[in-house]
């Protein structure tokens, strides 16, 4: 009986101790929260520095505007599979596209190469504009199908796969057409950006060579 009481008292003391520590922790937390934002952030400027700061802000704003792409440019959201043609801040055209599947292809024999089918992200430019493009099938296209890789270039050429137009943005990546329009809006490609016929035609006609492409 006595031992039981001692144990209950010890448990109660431990519980109270825990509550006290937790209370102290919350007090410290509240003190830290009340000190936010930290001193010195957003400190006001002295009157004599005001014109200098105003000028500096204006210059920085001008510089920021100067960084924006000139004329029409393309923005591609790989997560939403959307392509936007923009002019300044205005969206001129929106298209549903298909971007990279993120699948990894591994070559079991031979050179044991590996390909990751991602649409590259970053800032690019339109490097080429091609009408009635042919697809020069790369090695991975044959490996993926379990076929042997041909030696001659003529065996790699496939017509009609890329649609009527293609805009190249480097390293073999293109914005091009597709036969699989039902899959627009999904991540299914090997890295290129597939666009529906009507959108592709409009984009091809509107966007000039050298236009910026932002893929994120």
Partner 1 sequence: MLAALLMAGLVCAGPAGGADKTDLAKKQNSLNAEYSLAKDSTFYFVLDILGRKLELRVRGMVLRTWPFQSMRFWGRPELSGNVELVRKSTLKAPERIVIKPGGEAEKIEAAPMAAAKPTGTSAAPSNAAEFDLEALELKDMPKKFSLDFDNGLHILIKAKTRASGGFLGSMREGWRWHIGLPLRNLFGPQTGKGLSELELTFDNDKDAQAIYWHFFEGIKGIIL
Can you give the binding site for partner 1, defined by CB under 8 A? 21-22, 24-26, 28-29, 32-33, 36-38, 41-45, 50, 53-54, 56-57, 60-61, 63-65, 67-69, 75, 77-80, 89, 101-109, 116, 121-123, 143-146, 179-188, 214, 216
Residue environment code for 126-154, b if the CB has 16+ CB neighbours within 10 A, otherwise e:
beebeeebebebebbbebeeeeeeeeeee
Q: CB nearer to partner 1: give 7 or 45.
A: 45
- Matching residue, tokens 């596209």: 97
In whole angstroms, the minimum distance from the beta carbon of 45 to partner 1 comes to 5
In whole angstroms, the minimum distance from the beta carbon of 86 to partner 1 comes to 9
| Nearest-angstrom CA–CA distance, 147 and 170 | 27
Q: Quickly list DSSP for 136-171.
A: E--HHHHHHTTPPPPSSGGGTEEESTT-SEEEEEET
In whole angstroms, the minimum distance from the beta carbon of 79 to partner 1 comes to 4
| Nearest-angstrom CA–CA distance, 211 and 170 | 13
Q: CB nearer to partner 1: give 4 or 38.
A: 38
| Nearest-angstrom CA–CA distance, 200 and 164 | 8
Q: CB nearer to partner 1: give 29 or 71.
A: 29
Query: Which of 93, 83, 92 minimizes the C-alpha distance to 192?
Result: 83
In whole angstroms, the minimum distance from the beta carbon of 120 to partner 1 comes to 12
Q: CB nearer to partner 1: give 5 or 108.
A: 108
Q: CB nearer to partner 1: give 44 or 153.
A: 44
């Amino acid at each position: 009986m006595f031992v039981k009481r001692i144990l209950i008292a010890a448990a109660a003391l431990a519980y109270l101790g825990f509550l006290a520590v937790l209370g102290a922790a919350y007090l410290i937390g509240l003190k830290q929260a009340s000190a936010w934002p930290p001193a010195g952030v957003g400190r006001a400027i002295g009157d004599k520095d005001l014109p200098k700061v105003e000028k500096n802000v204006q210059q920085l704003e001008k510089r920021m505007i100067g960084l924006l792409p000139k004329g029409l440019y393309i923005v591609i959201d790989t997560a939403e599979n959307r392509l936007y043609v923009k002019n300044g801040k205005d969206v001129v055209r929106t298209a549903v596209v298909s971007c990279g599947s993120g699948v990894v292809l591994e070559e079991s024999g031979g050179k044991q190469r590996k390909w990751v089918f991602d649409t590259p992200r970053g800032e690019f430019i339109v490097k080429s504009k091609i009408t009635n493009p042919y697809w020069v099938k790369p090695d991975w296209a044959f490996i993926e199908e379990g076929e042997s890789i041909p030696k001659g270039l003529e065996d790699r050429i496939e017509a009609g796969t890329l649609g009527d137009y293609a805009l190249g943005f480097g390293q073999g990546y293109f914005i091009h057409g597709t036969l699989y329009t039902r899959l627009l809006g999904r991540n299914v490609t090997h890295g290129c950006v597939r666009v529906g016929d009507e959108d592709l035609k409009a984009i091809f006609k509107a966007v000039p060579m050298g236009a910026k492409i932002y893929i994120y």
